[in-house]
Amino acid sequence: GQQVMQIPQYQHVQEGEDFTTYCNSSTTLSNIQWYKQRPGGHPVFLIQLVKSGEVKKQKRLTFQFGEAKKNSSLHITATQTTDVGTYFCAGYYNQGGKLIFGQGTELSVKP
């Protein structure tokens, strides 16, 4: 079935270091979305990527969508303690009209 794999599951970094999380789907995605969930909170929508090879930036965050529309990445430059949380990718497939979430990457930042 449709599945989105996300790695790594956990990432511990020193403040100021960079961070990257990767998502991969076995089948072509219609689009991919990224969410952030702070500890004890709920997921908050960050961005949606639709086009093959698309790259979008939000301040220190860079999002990429692969050429084949099967993979995506989120890169954070110079992490800060406010970046702490779990980052989820979620793939949208044309069939079924539902969003499939990856397992998430939990980021901890040591000051």
Partner 1 sequence: DGGITQSPKYLFRKEGQNVTLSCEQNLNHDAMYWYRQDPGQGLRLIYYSQIVNDFQKGDIAEGYSVSREKKESFPLTVTSAQKNPTAFYLCASRQADYGYTFGSGTRLTVV
Which residues of this chain interact with partner 1, rule CB under 8 A?
6, 9, 33, 35, 41-48, 88, 90, 97-104, 106
Q: How far is the CB of 81 from partner 1 (least distance, A)?
A: 21
The CA dihedral of 76, 43, 66, 61, to the nearest 10 degrees, is -20
Q: How far is the CB of 60 from partner 1 (least distance, A)?
A: 20
Q: How far is the CB of 66 from partner 1 (least distance, A)?
A: 19
**Closer of 53 and 96 to partner 1 (Cβ):** 96
For residue 88 the two structure tokens come to: 């989820």
Question: Helix, strand or coil for residue 1?
Answer: coil
Name beta bridge partners: 75: 20, 62
